[in-house]
Structure 1
Amino acid sequence: MNVAVDEFGKPFVILRQQEKKRLTGLDAHKANIMAAKAIASTLKTSLGPRGMDKIIVSPDGKVTVTNDGATILQKIEVEHQCAKLLVDLSKSQDEEIGDGTTGVVILAGALLERALRLLDKGLHPLRIADGYETACDIAIKRLEEIANEQDVSYSPVKNAEIYKKAAYTALGSKVVSSCQDHLADIAVSAVMAVQDKERRDVNLELIKIEAVTGGRLEDTCLVEGIVLTKEFSHSQMTKTVRDARIAILSCPFEPPKSKTKSRIEISTVEDYEKLQACEKQYFENMVQRVVDSKANVVICQWGFDDEANHLLMKKGISAVRWVGGAELELVAIATGGKIVGRFEDLDESKLGRAEVVREVATGTEHQEFIFIEKCQKTKSVTVLISGGNGVYVEETKRCIHDAICCVRNLVRDSRVLGGGGAPEIAASLAVEAAAVKLNTLEQFAVQAFSEALLEIPMALADNSGLNVFDMVAKATQMQRTNCHVGIDCLRGSVGDLRERGIFESLHSKVQQLSLATQVVKMILKIDDVICPTEIQ
């Protein structure tokens, strides 16, 4: 046994024998499952509209307050290999769907917990994995049957109402729930502004989310265009430009530099004046090319020399400098302009167009933004979030992202399910009924899958301070006649959540079941944990 000290000076113990111990067989299965269960239990209290938030402090002291499953797992340090699989599981759900990151990890943890019991009884891991796969197919089929009964029409008015209810549900579990009606409207408007109706898809890159510290959450707004966290490069430039013709430059307003090592020796005042005159002539030529192209706004990826900045101001051209490459590309796509790499190539055909470009100062700190509104080519929108402090604003950004993803999923597949654990209860009953008909060892795994599905409604009830077994028993009993019955956490009752306007996307639920089952099967097939130090 050795005593070591970490970077903060705190002692900890390293047990050498335990460190070198190699886990195989059932011991490996148990260790892997216990590590994954620990991750799931961390997120369990964050599920649902009454779920708790977590405060996470990074090594550099940065504080994050959130109940988003993917964010929590991304911020914490995980060492165990199988626990990292659940972190990746949540990340996959977040990237593919954008919502349901907490539920998918809780479901995977519940499946592993019941798999451990079956392993203790002597059931082979592969038989458990096969049973889980069978049960997953049954559950997905049942959810699709339920969703078909609830298929929304393609009427834009009715769809907008369904979209808002889905976004409202996604925001209900967040810290911004007090303003969820306003934010749900913004999420729906953002998606409907950029959706591709022919392909029934949404390019989320066209929806940008910016934040400003200060003001109220109710001041959050949707800008029909692009917002840059910049200001015009000169204080006397025109702050509002209408009928904007935008030159998008990836070349700096600077004299050309020699491609070889060279130097200029200045020995007299006349030499210095010649150099200064030459530089000024370069700047005048650059600005004149901008004027000749009939541009009245310049957006540049690089900086300006003071001389160039002054000349642009005198010519009545408003300019923005140090714009990032990704933002520059987004401006080009939205305005229909071309990114110009040399001043010689700049002409009127390369310009982007927008109805208005203006500088706006907002928030208690009067932070400046450049609004490029009503772009000619592509509809891009920006959600500008206001909040009291940086921590609150960052969490609001995550909330808005989840709501937008939820609406995007409905654009792709308009079938919806009731919330409040109703889909899990309906799937559990279907899987349980199928398990009775099986006469193989997989029957036990299928039955365990049915029990694990109930972990979601049980967690919802528990986090809401309700009687867990009473609520789940009532919902299960009522589900036999109405498959949309779930737990209404806000009212503390059981009822048809479809009628109460609480919706979830079928696509999201199917993805949760599929991803959780795949990861659990992967963990069950691991029977040996080999450290790199053991391979000599």
Structure 2
Amino acid sequence: MMGGGGMGQLVFDEYGKPMIILKDQDAQKRLTGMDALKSHILAARSVASILRTSLGPRGLDKMMVSPDGDVTITNDGATILKQMDVDHQIAKLMVQLSQSQDDEIGDGTTGVVVLAGALMEKAEELLDKGIHPIRLADGYELAAKKAIEHLDKIADEYPVDPNNLEPLILTAMTTLGSKIINRCHRQMAEIAVDAVMAVADLEARDVNFELIKVEGKVGGKLEDTMLVKGVVVDKDFSHPQMPKTLKNVKCAILTCPFEPPKPKTKHKLEVTNVEDYQALHKYEQEQFISMVDKVKAAGANLAICQWGFDDEANHLLLQKDLPAIRWVGGPEIELIAIATNGRIVPRFEELTPEKLGTCGTVREIGFGTTKDRMMVIEDCPNTKAVTIFIRGGNRMIIEEAKRSIHDALCVVRNLVRNNKIVYGGGAAEISCALAVSEEADKISTIEQYAFRAFADALENIPLALAENSGLSPIHTLTDVKSRQLSEKNPALGIDCMNANTCDMKTQRVIETLHSKKQQILLATQLVKMILKIDDIRTQGEAM
């Protein structure tokens, strides 16, 4: 039984009490059928069109200002989308798409969104022709399968050899080509490769990223960036008179505070006369001295403490000739323990000589005329832990350099895991597009339209690359396509850097096979999912 004066959302139960079935139905907008699909396509296209200009080595950076005025300048698709304020549900899915590419691969976050946007754009034309969205989604899936098979055929084996790092460096350089740090392109690529190779387990073909720490400090120039075979900690010695460099260090890594134990009771301790106060002070001093003596007795000549200590303890450490670093955070403490083969000691009583970490040098570095100091712990017995120490003119450059280095690290890691590569510059996409459209001619069902649309969408990547490089997009693409067909060379792509050759093998523009496959897979899955939604309901005017 309905009621509620035509609102259509009140129902009465058997006792005559009203119940609301759908809350705020009058305030909701509902799109169904073709309108919903058109709305999805528009949202996906608009997100892709924002990222399209960031694609490739000549792509433009984006500047984002957060609500509290923080400025981020970046070329990284995942970061751009993460910081964008999107309302539309499908646009949110596009953000998640680039995020999953970033988590899985670390590179290709812009390309995957541009591809998904192109697939949605081509889908619109076919929907207008009256093709059912399910047939279209299935056709796309088959086409993606064909494209991935073709990628396997054109992929090359790539040597991952610790004695010859050049091939890995070239791949890292391809990743960094579109980033702001391509001014010291080669140096950054070498640092990324050296860092990964230092921590890689080539037998198990795995890389533990936990062991690579990326630190940044404003000041200096990008060229001052260096790889430290050890740990860099953003701290200094606790007392300015302590020596700035220590050799043959044995360090005690403590997570217990340098302070007398406090009575854990609810009672108050009142000191009423001078004798009591002096006795208390003497007790505190004895505690301090015994703590320092325990550290010295274990043979340590450096104390690294997770907690702080007061000036009295600090002065005592100086007198007893025991340099110390205080307030070292949890992750750094763990890295130092790994690098120096030390054990983290939670109580002074447990400190023994076997638990000390060892390293060649610990030195404090200063930066120009600023008061900033940092500790560098080098020549560690376990060189697995490394730190990439980035310098740059301001915070934004350093943040972007960190993101870029992360992408390069991910690519080198992917090569260690799976050493197959394809050629960049749109070469792989053009080759796949040709294979998919060739397959379309063999299909007699309606799916052939989806195949051709898929091939057109793949061509959108080289088109965008050409456009961003200031070339004539259509002319360049048709030229490369015809050459790929006649020369049977899948390494021909867009000459973005005006190197006077379209052969990406010669230009050494290399991408990992895993990354390309993942881009095509993720984009197709998302588009398939969107094409199957035909009803969207939103609150108020959020559309």
Give TM-score scaled by structure 1 length.
Answer: 0.93
Contact 2:212 2:385 in 1 (8 A): yes
- State the distance in 1 between where 2:160 and 2:411 align: 17
Q: Shift of the alpha carbon at 1:506?
A: 0.8
AA in 2 matched with 1:383: I
- Per the alignment, residue 214 of structure 2 pairs with 209
Larger Cα-atom Rg: 2
**1:292 is aligned to 2:292:** no
Contact 1:208 1:382 in 2 (8 A): yes
- Per the alignment, residue 8 of structure 1 pairs with none
**1:279 is aligned to 2:279:** no
Q: Shift of the alpha carbon at 1:262?
A: 2.1
SS at match of 1:32: helix
- Per the alignment, residue 87 of structure 1 pairs with 95
- Per the alignment, residue 6 of structure 1 pairs with none
1:242-286 CA-to-partner distances (Å, cap 9, x unmatched) read: 111121111111222233322110111111111111111111121
Q: Shift of the alpha carbon at 1:486?
A: 0.3
1:254-269 superposed matches below 5 A = 254-269=259-274
Most deviating of 480-489 and 437-446: 437-446
Q: Tell me the number of residue pairs that the alignment of Structure 1 and Structure 2 aligns.
A: 516
- State the distance in 2 between where 1:156 and 1:220 align: 22
- State the distance in 2 between where 1:396 and 1:467 align: 31
- Per the alignment, residue 9 of structure 1 pairs with none
SS at match of 2:508: coil
1:336-351 superposed matches below 5 A = 336-351=341-356
- Per the alignment, residue 499 of structure 1 pairs with 506
AA in 2 matched with 1:64: T
Instruction: Find 1:454's aligned residue among 452, 459, 478.
Output: 459
Contact 1:166 1:504 in 2 (8 A): yes
1:476-533 CA-to-partner distances (Å, cap 9, x unmatched) read: 1111121110011011655111122111111111111111111111211222223479
1:108-147 superposed matches below 5 A = 108-147=116-155
Q: Shift of the alpha carbon at 1:162?
A: 0.8
- Per the alignment, residue 104 of structure 1 pairs with 112
- Per the alignment, residue 151 of structure 1 pairs with 157
- State the distance in 2 between where 1:312 and 1:126 align: 74
Q: Shift of the alpha carbon at 1:176?
A: 1.4
Contact 2:249 2:301 in 1 (8 A): yes
SS at match of 2:116: helix
1:388-416 CA-to-partner distances (Å, cap 9, x unmatched) read: 11111111111111112111111111111
- Per the alignment, residue 509 of structure 1 pairs with 516
Contact 1:207 1:383 in 2 (8 A): yes
- Per the alignment, residue 489 of structure 1 pairs with 496
Cα distance, 1:359–1:517 mapped onto 2, change above 3 Å: same
Q: Shift of the alpha carbon at 1:152?
A: 2.4
- State the distance in 1 between where 2:368 and 2:145 align: 51
Q: Shift of the alpha carbon at 1:422?
A: 0.2
Contact 2:227 2:388 in 1 (8 A): yes
AA in 2 matched with 1:459: A
- State the distance in 2 between where 1:267 and 1:369 align: 45
1:448-488 CA-to-partner distances (Å, cap 9, x unmatched) read: 11110001000000001100001100111111121110011
- State the distance in 2 between where 1:526 and 1:112 align: 13
- State the distance in 1 between where 2:161 and 2:41 align: 47
- Consecutive unaligned residues of structure 2, counting only runs of 5 or more, are 1-23
Contact 1:239 1:358 in 2 (8 A): yes
Instruction: Find 1:173's aligned residue among 156, 165, 178.
Output: 178
1:94-143 CA-to-partner distances (Å, cap 9, x unmatched) read: 11111111001100111111112222222222211111111111111111
1:4-403 superposed matches below 5 A = 20-147=28-155, 150-158=156-164, 160-362=165-367, 365-403=370-408
Most deviating of 304-313 and 458-467: 304-313
Percent identity, please.
Answer: 55
Contact 1:475 1:494 in 2 (8 A): no
Cα distance, 1:458–1:492 mapped onto 2, change above 3 Å: farther
SS at match of 1:302: coil
- State the distance in 2 between where 1:153 and 1:296 align: 44
- State the distance in 1 between where 2:379 and 2:136 align: 56
Q: Shift of the alpha carbon at 1:364?
A: 5.5
1:11-49 CA-to-partner distances (Å, cap 9, x unmatched) read: xxxxx9996211122222211221121111110000111
Q: Shift of the alpha carbon at 1:362?
A: 2.2
**1:417 is aligned to 2:425:** no
Contact 2:159 2:167 in 1 (8 A): no
- State the distance in 1 between where 2:148 and 2:117 align: 19
Q: Shift of the alpha carbon at 1:447?
A: 1.3
- Per the alignment, residue 4 of structure 1 pairs with none
- Consecutive unaligned residues of structure 1, counting only runs of 5 or more, are 1-15
SS at match of 2:414: helix
Most deviating of 522-531 and 343-352: 522-531
AA in 1 matched with 2:330: G
Q: Shift of the alpha carbon at 1:363?
A: 5.1
- State the distance in 1 between where 2:253 and 2:531 align: 54
- State the distance in 2 between where 1:156 and 1:242 align: 30
Cα distance, 1:402–1:363 mapped onto 2, change above 3 Å: farther
- Per the alignment, residue 14 of structure 2 pairs with none
- State the distance in 1 between where 2:226 and 2:114 align: 34
- State the distance in 2 between where 1:258 and 1:126 align: 71
Give TM-score scaled by structure 2 length.
Answer: 0.92
AA in 1 matched with 2:87: E
- Per the alignment, residue 450 of structure 2 pairs with 445
1:268-313 CA-to-partner distances (Å, cap 9, x unmatched) read: 1111111111111111121111111111111111111222212222
- State the distance in 1 between where 2:529 and 2:326 align: 50
